[in-house]
Chains A and B, each alone.
Chain A
């Protein structure tokens, strides 16, 4: 069934409640319950895990080497085989998946977290931009997304009422998600940066997530209905917005081709689209039809903990397979301004 050397599945997923502020929690305290929960779901102990990988960002923590302390939450004693990406946890999952493909590990613990509340995340994200020519102008993430939204409207791909409907649907779906930050009817609100209104933008919040991966028969033993990763790939585009067609996402399409998304229909799509307009771009790149359940968890418009939101998309898609609500799902994660870098995974459950 797999194009790869080994069958690998998501066998467990856990996430924190995503909150606007968590002043009373250190990052370690935010991550630990999630780690305990995901390990408890499999019955594995930290010392039994073959490989551990995390994703986070020093810039959110406001200090260098922030992940060295969070590792304490894992209980890395005796010493563990471990690595870290300064990226969303979806890419940590990718590194862990590669490690299992080499045969050097049969299981992996993947976690990620981010606290946006200590600073202004709109300002912080400007530091991702070209440091010589763009970052000194402090163009913030909402302004950049608004450029993309306006380009879509100008191209006739969407309009403001269609965007509002994306926000409304996401937050209505989030009503059933106890971890989501924004749930139920949320007014579309005033313009943040035209044409984007409050309801088109993600909430700013803190949160963490964790996943356990396992190979082959071990996955079958650890999970009644494993979510097999039948394809996973990620691609990056040029950084400069002037070099890209903002109404399209060729990197998402390319990653999807390599992951095998187009080989069979999907019933679920968990898309990391922090802005309503980005869902429009991603639907087109992934060729999603109206019958596909898009972001049944509420997506990033309901909870967008930086560095964890992409891993949560994989986790939510996997959880839907675990409980039999999906048989073939696509999960997506993004990084960088206006969907610069994109990861796509296909998750499938065995026929019951």
Chain B
């Protein structure tokens, strides 16, 4: 049997900000969905199914909000699925939608992910105590900082690398009109002088809390042929999970991440990711995760990721631009963050990324992770329809 080729023909985002007091949750998601439809030059009636994702329901205090959002997303009378895979959810959601088209179950699917963090308190939402279960600690930084330390000790990376990533991503964000943080007066020195939150992670090396939504229209070959703008074609997509806590787990470079990337490269026919991929939208909520994931995803040998960062390879004008959009470090509506990575990769190969466009990008990768570096979702998109 053969799979239907899947094309991204519409992308819409909200301007991500700390608090959207002017819209409800329904208003927020509808804004992104309407923009994706406008980009594809389609209407609500063209959509066969809706796949929605977000991070924990406690972040807004609404249980299974897809029920309440059915009307706002034009889903009445249609199938609607709600995906939740922790921080990787935006990526997983896009993959579930993509599978609906690939399986020829539906022809044109709206997929959307959101978070309206201002409705509640994410730190509280993550910190509810449950007896006899592993506490997640106060927020994510406390969980991830020891793994960053382990990376530094293992590779001998100098302690300046994290600040280079943060400075790069925040400068890239200035070119992205949808990015949350636009810090025009930021300097490398200011990043390095910002308060230490969870040693070695400084304030300016962490992601913000954002309100925002991201939507995509996925369609089949016939749908792509009708698309007025260039499509981004899905060349490979995969999810992998492993247990959160066990003695054999490598928190610095989890096996699930390696396996997930290997599966995507196999599907896409990539043998040398460093040379064959033109741009990467990587899930980097804390700056040090750029060099860590460069190794995990096979862009650098083990212990060498930080050298690519330090040499400027991952800059917007480097030979492997990472997070040209500004990334999670500049915009973090948690449930949407993974889908933004996937959508930004698609924008790059469609040539629609505006000021943060990587010239001539033909193949780009979108990457997301979640839980305690436990869940991974990735896709690789190309400007050309896949041949196999």
Contacts and interface: CB of A to CB of B under 8 A. Distances in A.
B240 interface: yes
A64 B104 CA distance: 34
Contacts of B128: 62-64
A68 B243 CA distance: 8
Contacts of B96: 83, 95, 98
Nearest to A51: B239
B241 A82 contact: yes
Contact of A59 (B63, B79, B80, B246): B63
Contacts of B55: 64
Contact of B242 (A77, A135, A234): A77
Interface in B63-118: 63-71, 75-86, 92, 95-96, 99-100, 102-105
Residues of B in contact with A, size category: 35 or more
A275 interface: no
B238 interface: yes
B103 A237 contact: no
A14 B374 CA distance: 27
A236 B78 contact: yes
A170 interface: no
Nearest to A78: B255
Contacts of A101: 99, 103-105
A79 B56 contact: no
Contact of A76 (B62, B71, B242): B242
B61 interface: yes
A128 B60 CA distance: 11
B243 A124 contact: no
Given A72-B243, A76-B241, A101-B103, A235 B63 contact: no
B3 interface: yes
B57 A59 contact: yes
B67 A340 contact: yes
B43 interface: no
Interface stretch (A86-94, A155-163, A179-187, A206-214): A86-94
A84 B371 CA distance: 13
A83 B244 CA distance: 15
B126 interface: yes
A240 interface: yes
A302 to B, nearest CB: 24
Residues of A in contact with B, size category: 35 or more
Contact of B58 (A4, A58, A71, A76): A58
A82 B83 CA distance: 12
A237 B77 contact: yes
A319 to B, nearest CB: 25
Interface string A256-284: 00000000000000000000000000000
B1 A5 contact: yes
Contact of A237 (B3, B60, B70, B371): B70
B371 A91 contact: no
A58 B241 contact: no
B193 interface: no
A84 B1 contact: no
B271 interface: no
Contacts of B371: 65, 68
Contacts of B141: none
A83 B239 contact: yes
Given A124-B63, A341-B67, A26 B242 contact: no
A84 B53 CA distance: 10
Interface string A48-61: 00001000011101
Interface stretch (B132-140, B144-152, B160-168, B323-331): B132-140
Nearest to B129: A63
B1 A236 contact: no
A188 B3 CA distance: 53
Contacts of A69: 133-134, 244
Contact of B61 (A62, A75, A102, A131): A131
A91 B83 CA distance: 10
B256 interface: yes
Contacts of B238: 81
A63 B136 CA distance: 10
B187 interface: no
Interface in B258-304: 259-260, 263
B125 interface: yes
A68 B373 CA distance: 11
A235 B83 contact: no
Contact of B241 (A79, A98, A124): A79
Contacts of A125: 63
A44 B311 CA distance: 48
A169 interface: no
B24 interface: yes
Given A131-B68, A238-B76, A77 B248 contact: yes
B60 A83 contact: no
B16 to A, nearest CB: 21
A240 B71 contact: yes
Given A98-B99, A128-B64, A26 B133 contact: yes
Contacts of A95: 81, 83, 96, 99
A85 B82 contact: yes
Contacts of A94: 81
A-B pairs, top 3 by smallest CB distance, nearest first, are: A64-B56, A101-B103, A79-B256
26 contacts: A26-B133, A52-B241, A62-B128, A63-B129, A63-B133, A64-B57, A64-B58, A64-B59, A64-B125, A64-B126, A72-B244, A79-B254, A81-B238, A82-B240, A84-B85, A86-B64, A87-B82, A99-B103, A102-B3, A128-B62, A235-B78, A236-B79, A237-B70, A239-B67, A239-B71, A251-B77
Given A69-B134, A127-B63, 7 more contacts: A52-B241, A58-B63, A65-B126, A124-B63, A127-B57, A335-B67, A341-B70
